[in-house]
Structure 1
Amino acid sequence: MNNIKKYKVNSSITIIIAVVIVILLNVFVTVLGTKVPLKIDMTTNKMFEISEKTKEYLKNYETPVDIYVLAGNSEKDERINAVLRKYSESNSNIKITNINTAENPTFGRKYANDGIKLTANSVIVDSGNKYKLLSLSDLYGINAQTGSYTSLNVENKITSALKYVSSDNQLKAYVVQGHNELAVSGAMAKLEDENYSVAELNTLTEEIPADTSLLMIVRPTADFSKDEISKLDSYLLSGGNMQVYFDVDSKGLTNLYDYLKSVWGIGVEDNMVIETDTSHSVMIGGNGVTLVVPEIRETEFTSSLLKNKRTIAYFPYSKELRQEFEHNGDISVEPVLLSSDKAYVTTSNIAEKTGAESQFIVGALAADNKHNSSVYVSGNTMLLTRDASILSNDYGLANYDYFMNLINYTLNNDESFTVDEKTLVNNSISMSLSSAVTIFILVVIIIPLIILVCGLVIWFRRRNL
């Protein structure tokens, strides 16, 4: 009897200790959950994580910032909030607050200017002196045809907003006018999103401001005067950066061609590069528009695109560029974008080849190490007239990532890094029928049977005490 009583006492003590341990463990995990993120992002593209570039940027971010999410508990977008939490976890200067506009309807009035309407899950990034308002359509990529969400742009937009609200100075970019250039509203909007001040500049009548960070010339069809070429040269000798985008309508620009060829080592030919390799093409939209996909050479600013297997494309056709020299004094030239080796060139008639099939340069970068300046020349407009979100979300093209990576590289502007949008993915697990049957037998039959047998053995032993 004493053994039975002793056993019961020991069993009771064991049960009490086990219950206490479970309670303490539960409290510990609960408290830990408020201090340390316990959720694990299992998505293939780490959709709810922030990139290493953003983490490095946040390490030295010293501006106190409030990020307001206009959503009550019932309407919160968990994807948006999951990414935002990474910012507050990475830097104590960043505070995330959810605002229930039903309970606080007057909140946000000072932000709703210029006709901007605040909607559920709008996000406001406010440093006190400056703020940035982001709508739900900014934070998601939306397919213009179906209206469905295609990508999550939270990190892209929030990191850009943090740069904007903490910056006292903006880099200045000018789009040259006066030569029948093409309007590039898409590129200008993208630059503004990346905290650039963007304006137009007529080099025929105006001087290039000394604080210009970037000069863009897009599809000129009238030549530059010698006085304008002198302005361009003086700007570049003072450490400027210029990008020139031609297309097949740009012809006979003798002064501009001569300057690019003789000084910067990039020759421009008045012909068309015709791509015949179908593996270097992509079809977009419901109307079957075919674009050309160039080969991208490995450089510092293209490595991330190549690593992530991103695609850039342009409308047929491109002008042919030539590398006049590899090095000439302090200036070096490198091809960046090329056709396949099955392309050919023609002067007018697409079906008429003027030479053998070969590989042709359609994008080249020249750099002057002495003056810290650069000139990028493209044989086509790289779709810079199109909206960045449409190219990325609807067609999956990385043209604007290429564009911004190039700018940040040539300007040596590490702080103005770009963050890729993240495609929304459905992470489902698929398995064969045999695997499903094996898991079913293990979970539904074997494991319960083991537990049953163990229970019977324990019951039988206790029964004989």
Structure 2
Amino acid sequence: MELGGHTMIKNKMNTKLKKGIFSAVAVVVLIAAVIAVNIFVTSKNYTVDVTANKIYSLSKQTKKILKGLDKEVTIYVIDKESSVNSSYAQVWKEYKKNSTKVKFVYKDPDLYPNFTKKYTDSSEEVANDSMIIKCGKKYRYVSANDYVSYSYGSDYSYSADSLQLESLTTEAINYVVSDSTPVIYTLSGHSEQSFDTSVTSSFEGDNYSVKTLNLLTEQRVPDDCSILLINGAQKDITKDELKMIKKYMKNGGKMYVFLDAKVENLTNLYSLLKSYNVEPQKGVVVETDASKYTQYPIYLLPTIESSDATSAQYNSNIYILAPSAKGLKDITEKNAKKNSSASDYTVTSLLSTSDGAYSKVNTDSATLNKEKNDISGPFNISVAVSDSTGGRMIVTGCTNMLLPDIDQAVSGANTDFVLNGVNYLAEQKSKISIRAKSLKTENAVVPAFNQKATLIMTVFVIPLVILAIGIGIVIKRRKL
């Protein structure tokens, strides 16, 4: 019996020993695996951005630009490397990871107090973490004061709105590696609407120079005009101006035209558009499909059509907001019956309404319901036209889409749409607008149909389902 007892104890001890050895080996293997993974991740410089708006990640557009670099770009950061803002450093780290052509050099202002003088205005105080981005002899100074944009709330509070570091850095890289700067001329002299400064800054950030043009004084479209832009003219162009613009377009010119839905009597301008197979319709477009508008039937959420100009936004689950828009119709077939040259112009829809949309001709009418003189849709809200000579034109029937509050409602998607159109006109395929990273919760644009469906579900359907389940349980218990 004693021998058997000793054997059992010995077996138990052996079992415990084996389990202990197994556990120890498992722990060692686990630690080794963790170390190996850590070494691998560190060697690959791999990080995961878990922020809601991916503020530390680079957009696909920036990565594409970085991979296409064929010139060395040096980014001088005015600070000690150990003192740089950690958030900025994390974003810049992604630039180094995605291109061997980008080099960062840190300049301690205490050690190099005069370094920035040849790159900045001598009267300007250079903030720490500011950048000087240089390629060859071309450079751009970017102040750290512009990295974060701020806004006032309804309660007059001042808070951080968005991180613009990626957009500013990529735009500066685009600028310094470009051999030339395209010029956008905005037409004046017809009470045109002015752009918000943020829009002009977006153009300039995409490496465009913006100038004003008065054809009555200049008597011609300048030779360096890359794009002629007309923004919501309230008065018609003259016949002489029409001739000058036609001459410019016949030589492969590019135009971007925004139309104000409230303005109708633009005979000469509309004749130019009609010659390009685009006919503006009278009135303001009213949408009947609740999934194609928000809040009001004239606050359109048009369909983004597939095209070269919309490739970055097509099928991307975003909305373009176009309030109080003018409808446009493709009249290629109509013009072809009168003029065989109509086929020289190809019209491509960029934004469109549903088939049930109509244009409210009497904009002073007390009702949005369709009336006798209203025009049946569907309509285009924006179109691109190309011709056989290389000329290009975009016509958009909405001047309100770039107003700050409208653009912010769709988190900058309207600005992206316009900038991508500008880049299409200028044949700058690699230059795609980089949106600032929001530091706030983004606005949700909800189509009217979804609003109604949500209301019905939460107020009626769900409570009724819960009530029915409760009644069923009570009846079942009474039967038991």
Please indicate, yes or no, whether the TM-score normalized by the shorter chain is above 0.5. Answer: yes
RMSD of equivalent CA atoms: 3.7
**Cα 1:350–1:339, aligned 2, differ >3 Å: closer, same or farther?**
farther
Q: Does 1:374 align with 2:392?
A: yes
Q: How much has 1:270 moved relative to structure 2? A: 3.4
Q: How much has 1:405 moved relative to structure 2? A: 0.9
Which whole-Å CA distance do the structure 2 matches of 1:392 and 1:72 have between them? Answer: 38
Q: How much has 1:247 moved relative to structure 2? A: 0.6
SS of match in other structure, 2:137: coil
1:13-412 equivalent positions in 2, closer than 5 A: 36-43=44-51, 46-72=54-80, 76-101=84-109, 104-113=112-121, 116-127=124-135, 129-136=137-144, 138-145=146-153, 146-186=157-197, 187-206=199-218, 207-261=220-274, 263-275=275-287, 279-282=291-294, 291-315=299-323, 317-325=324-332, 328-340=342-354, 341-351=356-366, 353=371, 354-355=373-374, 358-368=377-387, 370-384=388-402, 386=403, 396-412=411-427
Which whole-Å CA distance do the structure 2 matches of 1:392 and 1:124 have between them? Answer: 30
Which whole-Å CA distance do the structure 1 matches of 2:42 and 2:104 have between them? Answer: 14
**Cα 1:318–1:108, aligned 2, differ >3 Å: closer, same or farther?**
same
Which whole-Å CA distance do the structure 2 matches of 1:153 and 1:141 have between them? Answer: 7
Q: How many positions carry a matched residue from both structures? A: 402
Instruction: Calculate percent identity across the aligned residue pairs.
Output: 28
Which whole-Å CA distance do the structure 1 matches of 2:223 and 2:47 have between them? Answer: 50
Partner amino acid, structure 1, of 2:217? T
Q: Does 1:413 align with 2:431?
A: no
SS of match in other structure, 1:183: coil
Q: How much has 1:34 moved relative to structure 2? A: 7.0
- Contact 2:303–2:352 under 8 Å retained in 1: yes
- Contact 2:279–2:330 under 8 Å retained in 1: yes
**Cα 1:183–1:383, aligned 2, differ >3 Å: closer, same or farther?**
same
Q: How much has 1:402 moved relative to structure 2? A: 0.2
The CA deviation string for residues 296-338 of structure 1, in whole angstroms up to 9 with x for no partner, is 22323324324332222234x2223222126832211133223
**Cα 1:38–1:349, aligned 2, differ >3 Å: closer, same or farther?**
closer
Partner amino acid, structure 2, of 1:377? V
Give the match for residue 458 of structure 2.
Answer: none
Q: Please, which runs of 5 or more residues in structure 2 have no aligned partner?
A: 1-23, 337-341, 442-480
Q: Please, which runs of 5 or more residues in structure 1 have no aligned partner?
A: 1-14, 427-465
Higher mean C-alpha displacement, 232-241 vs 181-190: 181-190
Higher mean C-alpha displacement, 104-113 vs 329-338: 104-113
Higher mean C-alpha displacement, 332-341 vs 236-245: 332-341
Give the match for residue 461 of structure 2.
Answer: none
SS of match in other structure, 2:350: strand
Partner amino acid, structure 1, of 2:266? L
- Contact 1:123–1:133 under 8 Å retained in 2: yes
The CA deviation string for residues 247-266 of structure 1, in whole angstroms up to 9 with x for no partner, is 134321112212211x2011
Give the match for residue 448 of structure 2.
Answer: none
Q: How much has 1:60 moved relative to structure 2? A: 3.9
Give the match for residue 463 of structure 1.
Answer: none
- Contact 1:313–1:397 under 8 Å retained in 2: no
Partner amino acid, structure 1, of 2:329? R
Which whole-Å CA distance do the structure 2 matches of 1:303 and 1:336 have between them? Answer: 10
- Contact 1:274–1:350 under 8 Å retained in 2: no
Q: How much has 1:196 moved relative to structure 2? A: 0.9
Partner amino acid, structure 1, of 2:105? T
- Contact 1:213–1:240 under 8 Å retained in 2: yes
SS of match in other structure, 2:320: coil
Which whole-Å CA distance do the structure 1 matches of 2:400 and 2:302 have between them? Answer: 11
Q: How much has 1:158 moved relative to structure 2? A: 1.4
Partner amino acid, structure 2, of 1:226? K
**Cα 1:73–1:396, aligned 2, differ >3 Å: closer, same or farther?**
same
The TM-score, its normalising length taken from structure 1, stands at: 0.74
Which whole-Å CA distance do the structure 2 matches of 1:153 and 1:335 have between them? Answer: 32
Which whole-Å CA distance do the structure 2 matches of 1:229 and 1:217 have between them? Answer: 13
